[in-house]
Homo-oligomer: A and B are copies of this chain.
């Protein structure tokens, strides 16, 4: 643990570094942040902080740069809450205004707003409804051998998929079957669906493959990893000096285009309300000078998806956290009306 003065100096260094991305010197701290102390005193403290692993020195006669450990400490102990100004609130609330019918579009919008208000890159996962309550199941024939399985939950129709059906089933049979499925699944969660469908099958008999493909489609449905991830605001990343080196920019963009990697990144923090991963904690070497702040959003009180912001390690954490908090509220509110979909 650091004593008060060291913590205060470390905070000043991190604050300044977040602002400028330049190594911070003792004189700067003394003049701009802690005028009661002379630069010499601060120099001594900085020397200690370096020894403790909180600061790095790019070369022996330059200012100090906060290490990953300093940011960890900053995030855990030093950081103060930030609040949004009215303009930012207005922009976020603006998402309410335009009626959005398609989930796809809502996610794209969310990603843009998130990226533009933070000036970093953003990640948004579509909602997964493993735990959502089923409202209705309907099978709509497409061709003679295929049909569309539509699953409506309390959060709207979140996805739909193609299933194979035996040839020669009449529309009315499928309609009837849909009604029976709806009757037996309604108000249950997707997790319970499999056994309920099987129960219905053993009761009704009939087309084994049909029931099997329904079960399979529902399983896929609950599996979040099949869903993709919306990425926004990559352009903002290139504006930060840490990416003035094209090689770095390239590997970052590479990482941001690998949806799988992003997915495990978001998934790792599970349902935790607000998670921060910094530098090496990101796992991937491509992202070792990035940080990710992510949060969940809810439908009907249950976590169904994640919002995240990826920025450089020296990102403005308090602001990002404030934006994310607000966004999750807005998005959760929007989705809880249960009328939006696809």
Interface residues of A (CB under 8 A from B): 101-102, 104-105, 108, 135-136, 138, 140-143, 145-146, 148, 150, 152, 156-157, 159-162, 171, 175, 179, 228, 232-235, 238-239, 243-244, 246, 249-250, 253-254, 257, 259, 338-342
Say whether B162 contacts A341, CB under 8 Å.
Answer: yes
Q: How far is the CA of A145 from the CA of B145 in the complex (A)?
A: 32
Say whether B148 contacts A157, CB under 8 Å.
Answer: yes
Known: A136-B141, A234-B234, A238-B250; 16 extra A-B contacts, CB below 8 A, are: A102-B161, A108-B259, A140-B140, A140-B152, A142-B156, A148-B341, A157-B162, A159-B342, A160-B342, A162-B339, A235-B253, A235-B254, A235-B257, A238-B253, A239-B250, A246-B246
Give the oligomeric copy count. 2
Say whether B140 contacts A150, CB under 8 Å.
Answer: yes
**Which B residues are CB-close (under 8 A) to A250?**
235, 238-239
Q: A161-B102, A235-B257 in contact; A140/B136 too (CB < 8 A)?
A: yes
Q: How far is the CA of A221 from the CA of B125 in the complex (A)?
A: 24
**Which B residues are CB-close (under 8 A) to A142?**
135-136, 152, 156-157, 339, 341
**Which B residues are CB-close (under 8 A) to A150?**
140, 148, 150
Interface SS majority for chain A = mixed
Q: A145-B339, A239-B250 in contact; A138/B140 too (CB < 8 A)?
A: yes
**Which B residues are CB-close (under 8 A) to A244?**
246
Q: A140-B150, A235-B254 in contact; A161/B249 too (CB < 8 A)?
A: no
**Which B residues are CB-close (under 8 A) to A136?**
140-142
**Which B residues are CB-close (under 8 A) to A232?**
257
Q: How far is the CA of A138 from the CA of B174 in the complex (A)?
A: 13
**Which B residues are CB-close (under 8 A) to A105?**
228
Q: What are 28 sample pairs from A and B whose C-beta atoms fall under 8 A apart?
A: A101-B161, A102-B162, A108-B228, A135-B143, A136-B141, A136-B142, A140-B150, A140-B152, A142-B156, A143-B339, A146-B339, A148-B150, A148-B152, A150-B150, A156-B162, A159-B342, A160-B342, A162-B339, A162-B341, A232-B257, A234-B234, A235-B257, A238-B249, A238-B253, A239-B250, A243-B246, A244-B246, A246-B249
- Nearest neighbor of A108 in chain B, beta-carbon distance: B228
Say whether B246 contacts A233, CB under 8 Å.
Answer: no
Q: How far is the CA of A249 from the CA of B136 in the complex (A)?
A: 48
- Nearest neighbor of A171 in chain B, beta-carbon distance: B179
